[in-house]
Amino acid sequence: MSRMFVPGPVDVDDEVLRAQAQPMVPHRSKEFEALYRRAAEKAQQLFFTQNRVFLSASSGTGFQEAAVRNLADQHILSCVNGAFAERWYEVASTNGKQADRLEFEWDQPVSPAAVTEALKKKTYEAITIVHNETSTGLQNPVREVAEAVRAASPETLICVDAVSSLGGVKIEMDAWGLDMLLTSSQKCLALPPGLALAAVSDRALAKAETVANRGWYFDLVRMEKHRLKDSSAATPAISLIYALDMQLDRILAESLEARFARYEALAQRVQEWVVTHGLSLFAPEGYRSRTVTTVRNDLGLDLSDLNAFLMQRGMRIAGGYGPIKKDTFRIAHMGEIRMSDVEALLAALDEYLKK
Ligand SMILES: Cc1ncc(COP(=O)(O)O)c(C=O)c1O
């Protein structure tokens, strides 16, 4: 079996792939409603929330758009320290919102103190932050940032992108007081791409009701109306929801805590290998991603040559992303990856370096 150490789409287990081949049912039917309800209820456990979880036939960026269109009339504070945070800022501004950037160096985490300062200077309806920056392999201190927001500006809604971490790292929506927490299917959930999940708080939904021009497809108020009937306004991605239903059973059978521990061990092993092989990590200690390791290419390795070597062994890693594309490469360890897979990859990398 091949192993893709790339940050999505990741390998999908055969059993989960096959779950998609179940016969279609009408989405206005008891069978579909039961499937939708089952999947959405199980998903609440992943989000550590009692809030509703929406399923969308889109990738995660769709819910980035939903957040900015529904949760602010105008004023959004976008924390930017990586490519996907930058995208969220662009999503906000191209949707006509007055988004202000709160910028940090890409190898530095979002600072709660800087967030507090920004919120003292201006009132923001919502703040956006990426939990796990897939470009830089940096995990932002979302819990601490959320605490800072609550203290400085309790009305500001806290929107978190956990596209490349939810399901692999513990993110406690309710305990941390988050208002919208979104993810995509093709990363830690190890599903095919095309489905996005987002949990939304009551107060966020109440705010959405007051916001004009929410659009149609990503209108959270419309989504809620249909979710209450265990369905969606437009035709749902039924095959993907079959896969989600099965994959959530598998994830819960592994147990969330065991899954988080597995990710932690994989991240530690890869990151320890990096620093003992003449390479260095892009993210600073204490803020390193548990799902994807961004490596500074200090050895000047030729990524396409390295990947050609790895692909002969049924593996591949990812290049850098965005402005740090040339200077970095990435080893993802999310989804179905086990320690034996990581050991096989590191052995191949050792062999390559000896060449
Ligand atoms: C942190 C982060 N946010 C957002 C996205 C965009 O997600 P999607 O491609 O599912 O729209 C990605 C994709 O890699 C990501 O890593």
**Given this model, what pLDDT does residue 1 score?**
54
Provide the pairing of β-strand 315-319 with 3-5: parallel
**CA 329 to ligand 1 center in whole angstroms:** 17
Interatomic CA distance for residues 352 and 90, integer angstroms: 39
**CA 276 to ligand 1 center in whole angstroms:** 30
Q: What is the mean pLDDT of residues 312-333?
A: 96
Percent of the chain with pLDDT over 70: 99
Q: Under DSSP, is residue 243 helix (H, G, I), strand (E, B) or coil?
A: helix
138 CB less than 6 Å from ligand 1?
no
49 CB less than 6 Å from ligand 1?
no
**Given this model, what pLDDT does residue 355 score?**
87
What residues contact 197, with CB distance under 8 A and at least 6 apart?
Answer: 43, 47, 53, 54, 55, 56, 63, 166, 182, 183, 184, 185, 189
Residue 134 has pLDDT above 70, yes or no: yes
**CA 351 to ligand 1 center in whole angstroms:** 32
Q: What is the mean pLDDT of residues 11-25?
A: 97
Q: Under DSSP, is residue 67 helix (H, G, I), strand (E, B) or coil?
A: helix
Q: pLDDT confidence of 277, banded at 50, 70, 90?
A: very high
Residue 162 has pLDDT above 70, yes or no: yes
Closest ligand 1 atom to 7 CA: 14
Token pair listed for 222: 């419309």
Calculate the average pLDDT of the chain.
97
- Choose the residue to mutate in 129, 182, 184 for probing ligand 1, maximizing ligand atoms within 8 Å of C-beta: 184
**Given this model, what pLDDT does residue 13 score?**
97
Q: What is the mean pLDDT of residues 140-167?
A: 98
112 CB less than 6 Å from ligand 1?
no
Nearest CA among 150, 190, 171 for reference residue 289: 171
Q: What is the pTM of this model?
A: 0.98
Residue nearest to atom 13 of ligand 1 (CA): 163
Q: What is the mean pLDDT of residues 110-124?
A: 98
Interatomic CA distance for residues 336 and 187, integer angstroms: 10
Q: pLDDT confidence of 189, banded at 50, 70, 90?
A: very high
179 CB less than 6 Å from ligand 1?
no
**Given this model, what pLDDT does residue 29 score?**
96
Residue 8 has pLDDT above 70, yes or no: yes
Q: pLDDT confidence of 147, banded at 50, 70, 90?
A: very high
**Given this model, what pLDDT does residue 201 score?**
98
163 CB less than 6 Å from ligand 1?
yes
164 CB less than 6 Å from ligand 1?
yes
Interatomic CA distance for residues 297 and 148, integer angstroms: 35
Interatomic CA distance for residues 137 and 144, integer angstroms: 19
**CA 60 to ligand 1 center in whole angstroms:** 6
**CA 164 to ligand 1 center in whole angstroms:** 7
Q: What is the mean pLDDT of residues 278-294?
A: 98
Element (H, E) at 126: strand 126-130
Q: What is the pLDDT of residues 41-79, one digit of tens each?
A: 999 999 999 999 999 999 999 999 999 999 999 999 999
- Choose the residue to mutate in 6, 61, 140 for probing ligand 1, maximizing ligand atoms within 8 Å of C-beta: 61
**CA 350 to ligand 1 center in whole angstroms:** 30
Q: What is the pLDDT of residues 217-248, one digit of tens each?
A: 999 999 999 999 999 999 999 999 999 999 99
